[in-house]
């Protein structure tokens, strides 16, 4: 707005100055006309005509001050877009020109002449050097170690067999010898078959004293040597026997079993109680010599217990290997 006002003010100042200048020029021309200063022949000149027009403006009145330019009007609507011009037709493609003729191959050049062989150089004339003086013989070396003993040579070939001699004459029959002593009686074949195998089907709680282990189930009892009531085997045939026993502890007590011959303690088994293992099993075996009426049985130690069930974890086995002579 400020710039617009400033422009209007400058234009007003220029207009006032131009008006005053024209007014002064008109008065000067009027004086010349009235005094006769201007020549008549020059009245039709362009200068006189311009002066007369300017003076007429002053006689008729000075034009008013130009008004302030108004705001630009709104932009008019866009014109309708013209239609696209038609695309010109494509020109016809001209025919290909004919191929030019292939030029002829050039004539190969002739090989150049072979150069002459150079002259052989002269042999050098070097003199043969004189033979050097022979050196003195070196000191004698140490005596070497004796060599290894050679391997034994191969055996010589066996000579041919000699001719077989003629059979000798049959000798006279000898005298009849004395009758020999009577030999010892031979061993008779074993006829006794003794073997047993039993198992316990129930547990045995902790005992307060040494207790024989009894068994409820008999698998084998050849020779009827095992007593199911006492849990003991009684020897009826003297000889060498094999025995084996096994058991499993319960989850609250340790296990300590010993194989007994009469009142003699034989190999034992022991399973310690452990909080990390609910059960633990063990077994042992032995071969012993028994005489008639010896008893063999399994003893549970005082303060210990064992576990068993229908799975028969606790067992006792024995059999005769051979009889004594």
Residue 317's pLDDT is 97
Residue 176's pLDDT is 75
180-224 confidence digits (pLDDT tens):
777 676 554 556 899 999 999 999 999 999 999 999 999 999 999
Residue 34's pLDDT is 45
Averaged pLDDT, 286-296: 96
Q: What is the chain's Cα-based Rg?
A: 78
Report strand pairing: 195-200 vs 217-222: antiparallel
Averaged pLDDT, 133-157: 72
Confidence band (pLDDT; 50, 70, 90) for 78?
confident
Could you tell me which of 69, 64, 67 has the C-alpha nearest to residue 3?
69
- Cα distance between residue 175 and residue 180, in whole Å: 15
**Sequence-distant contacts of 216-220: CB under 8 A, at least 24 apart:** 217/312, 220/195, 220/196
CB 292 within 8 A of CB 235: yes
CB 314 within 8 A of CB 308: yes
18-36 confidence digits (pLDDT tens):
666 665 655 555 545 444 4
Residue 311's pLDDT is 93
Residue 202's pLDDT is 94
- Which of 1-5, 135-139, 259-263, 282-286 has the weakest average pLDDT? 1-5
- Chain mean pLDDT for the chain: 77
Which residue's entry shows tokens 């059999």? 319
What are the structure tokens assigned to 111, written together?
Answer: 């090989």
On the CB side of 269, CA atoms within 13 Å amount to 24
């Amino acid at each position: 707005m400020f710039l617009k006002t400033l422009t209007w003010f400058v234009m007003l100042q220029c207009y006032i100055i131009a008006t005053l200048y024209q007014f002064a020029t008109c008065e000067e021309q009027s004086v010349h006309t009235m005094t006769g200063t201007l020549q008549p022949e020059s009245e039709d000149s362009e200068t006189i005509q311009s002066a007369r027009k300017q003076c007429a403006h002053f006689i008729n009145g000075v034009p008013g001050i130009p008004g302030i330019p108004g705001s630009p009007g709104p932009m008019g609507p866009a014109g309708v877009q013209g239609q696209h011009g038609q695309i010109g037709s494509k020109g016809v493609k001209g025919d290909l020109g004919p191929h030019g003729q292939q030029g002829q191959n050039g004539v190969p050049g002739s090989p150049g002449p072979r150069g002459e062989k150079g002259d052989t150089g002269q042999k050098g004339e070097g003199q043969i050097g004189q033979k050097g003086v022979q050196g003195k013989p070196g000191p004698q070396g140490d005596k070497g170690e004796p060599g290894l003993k050679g391997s034994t040579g191969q055996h010589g070939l066996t000579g041919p067999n000699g001719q077989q001699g003629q059979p000798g004459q049959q000798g006279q029959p000898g005298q009849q010898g004395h009758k020999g002593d009577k030999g010892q009686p031979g061993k008779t074949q074993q006829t006794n078959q003794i073997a047993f195998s039993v198992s316990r089907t129930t547990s045995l709680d902790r005992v307060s004293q040494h207790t024989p282990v009894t068994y409820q189930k008999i698998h084998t009892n050849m020779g009827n040597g095992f007593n199911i009531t006492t849990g003991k085997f009684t020897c009826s045939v003297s000889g060498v026997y094999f025995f084996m026993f096994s058991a499993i502890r319960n989850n609250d007590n340790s296990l300590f079993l010993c194989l007994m011959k009469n009142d003699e303690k034989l190999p034992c088994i022991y399973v310690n109680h452990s909080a990390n293992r609910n059960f633990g099993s063990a077994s042992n075996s032995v071969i012993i010599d028994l005489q008639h009426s010896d008893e063999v049985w399994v003893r549970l130690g005082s303060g210990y217990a064992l576990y068993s069930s229908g799975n028969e974890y606790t067992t006792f086995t024995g059999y005769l290997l051979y009889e004594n002579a």
